[in-house]
Amino acid sequence: MRSIPSLQKSASAVYVTLTALVVAVAALAVFEQVRGRRLVLEISELNGDPHAPGADAVFGAVTVFAILIMFFAASAIAAVAAYLNWLLRARQGADRPAVAPVLVSWFVPVVNLAAPPVLVDRLWRASRPPLDRRLRWKALLTAWWLSWLVASALVFARLWPGAPQGGTSLTGFGLTELIAVATASLLCATTVRQITGIQAAGAGHRRRTRPERRLPAQATETAPVKPTSVQQDRGKRNPVRSVPTPPVEDPTPSETLSPEVSGQEQPQEVHPAGQ
């Protein structure tokens, strides 16, 4: 598999953005329960008059609500972008680099109701997972996609322009929507983690089984250097001749020094008297 570190980084981005999406939905649900219902009544009492008593407090609450809505929209867009980025990188790792199937399966109406889980399942099989995980994977994939459809339907039903909210809430977000979004996000992150882990494990296995090039071990003792054939031929053509050492001759009598020359005194003979 190629680019495993980048695939793991893109998977981490999916986890972060999905967490931000759950936090945004939770913030909207809390605001709805704490301030939203009362804010609807206060806005209706103003009758569009910005100078009416209590208008400043209403405008402050509306500003907070607008910030929460923008945070929800930004986190949703970021989650979609991070997931598609991860999906494309995972397909490249599984030797399926085509971008068109991903865009068609996610953005073409009606097709996007069933194509995405099929695409993810093919990606899982292309990643060469263990055979004993097939049933668990199918159960996880089915649960993720059903929870995603339910959460998407609830969110769009609440935020669709002109959707009835009963006149007592701003968005209608509550505990049901929060549970649905949190469940879908958790299952989506689990599918991402499964495929990323399989590809990373496969890449690590291939690195371990790849034959390593080892240099020959150096001898601890220096072996005698054998003469090459050229050197042997030269030795045969030009043999080394030993030069005889001349013998040292004893000096001849003529070459001996006289006592006078040598500085030594010659012993004198003693003759008897009368001779």
- pLDDT tens digits, 162-210: 665 555 567 778 899 999 999 999 999 999 999 999 998 866 555 555 5
pLDDT at position 54, please? 63
pLDDT at position 254, please? 45
Backbone phi, then psi, for 37, in 5-degree steps? -65, -40
Q: For residue 165, which of 25, 35, 37, 23 has the smallest C-alpha distance?
A: 37
The per-residue DSSP string of the chain comes to ---HHHHHHHHHHHHHHHHHHHHHHHHHHHHIIIIIHHHHHHHHHHTT-TTSTTHHHHHHHHHHHHHHHHHHHHHHHHHHHHHHHHHHHHHHHTT---SHHHHHHHHSTTGGGTHHHHHHHHHHHHT---GGGHHHHHHHHHHHHHHHHHHHHHHHHHHSTT---TTS-SS---HHHHHHHHHHHHHHHHHHHHHHHHHHHHHHHHHHHSPPP-PPPPPSSPPPPPPPHHHHHHHHHSPPPPPPPPPPPPPPGGGSPPHHHHTPPPPPPPPPTT-
Percent of all residues in the chain with a pLDDT value above 70, rounded to a whole number: 64
Q: Mean of the per-residue pLDDT values for the chain?
A: 77
Q: Is the pLDDT assigned to residue 252 strictly greater than 50? A: no
Mean pLDDT of 6-33: 94
pTM: 0.69
